[in-house]
Structure 1
Amino acid sequence: MATRTDPLTLEVVELIGDVVARYHQEYDEAASVHSLTGAQARVLGLLSIEAMPMRRLAGHLKCEPSNVTGIVDRLEARGLAERRPDPADRRIKLAAATDAGRRTSRELRATMDFAREPLGELSAGERTVLRDLLKRMLGRTEE
């Protein structure tokens, strides 16, 4: 079993940190081209996949719902997001990307090469193993 101080574990932790830092740097740079903060771009990306309540957005971002409210307010002011009633429970408001928001999110992701290019050099089998290992590390083995 690996310990926190064995050289291999330390190297893996450092490499993961480097990947995360480079991903966030590229994400922030791509977002700024669209006059968005990294957090706004991440929220827009999530909303482009599906509409969701603020609490769930906050869970994805690991922050307080009040922080997400401000981000959605700014996206809404720019016409990139909107709030709508949840069809299943009209007391709940869902945040959703508008057509312009989905288009902006697609454009933003298209400019991000860091994650896509190195992954493209891995075979489908290697990407599958990497995905499964990352899910296991995050406790998402049921997905």
Structure 2
Amino acid sequence: MNGYSDSHSEQAVRPSGGPSGGTEAGEVGVAQQAWTLLFSLLHTHMRNFPALAAEFELSPVQAHVLRQLGEEALAMSTLANYLSCDASNVTGLVDRLEARGLVERRSSEQDRRVKMLVLTEAGAALRGRLMARMFEPPEFVTAMPEEDQVALRDIMRRALKTQ
């Protein structure tokens, strides 16, 4: 299956109740079609995220935390905002990652009351493997002709530059 079936594309470009932007009833503009298809593609791909996290014996939220942590320390309150959850939820989440030896809490140099999260050596190694797996292109991308891959890459680069 190539992911580009006509029926899927037809459903994706005709969302119910959305603004049309097209010239005929039920039609949508090209920008909305492109965005709807991209969103659908990413949503479909992200359904695999729980299985990917499980490969590393992580919950999906734990995998998101490791993805968010990088070279620099991150305040637990910042992580709570990123995850759109209460700080008490982050405490339990960090407790489990800390018990596995993947992160450690440190007091902020600016404010000792603020707890910063830092990856341990083991956490950084696991994060590296996780990120490598996350960024493996799916089959539908690798199956595209190289000229389509180049065009897709260039379009995505231009889109990201406007952000």
Q: Secondary structure at the match of 2:117?
A: strand
- What letter matches 2:159 in structure 1? L
Partners of 1:81 and 1:96 within 8 A in 2: yes
Q: How many pairs align?
A: 131
Is 1:129 matched with 2:144? Answer: no
Q: Which runs of 4+ in 1 moved over 6 A?
A: none
Asked which structure has the greater RCO (Cα within 8 Å, sep 6+), the reply is 1
For residues 105 and 93 of structure 1, do their structure 2 counterparts lie closer, same or farther at Cα, with a shift above 3 Å needed? same
Following the alignment from structure 1 to structure 2, what is the Cα–Cα distance between the partners of residues 73 and 46? 17
Is 1:14 matched with 2:36? Answer: yes
2:6 corresponds in structure 1 to none
2:19 corresponds in structure 1 to 4
How does the TM-score come out when normalised to structure 1?
0.75
- Please list, as runs of the form range in 1=range in 2, the aligned pairs for 1:95-114 lying within 5 A after superposition: 95-112=117-134, 113-114=136-137
1:86 corresponds in structure 2 to 108
Partners of 1:26 and 1:114 within 8 A in 2: no
How does the TM-score come out when normalised to structure 2?
0.67
Is 1:47 matched with 2:69? Answer: yes
The structure with the largest alpha-carbon Rg is 2
For residues 107 and 95 of structure 1, do their structure 2 counterparts lie closer, same or farther at Cα, with a shift above 3 Å needed? same
- What letter matches 2:106 in structure 1? R
Partners of 1:82 and 1:98 within 8 A in 2: yes
Q: Any unmatched runs of 5+ in structure 2? A: 1-17, 22-27
**For 1:22-50, what per-residue CA distance to the aligned partner results, in whole angstroms no more than 9, with x for missing partners?**
34223322211011011101101212342
1:140 corresponds in structure 2 to none
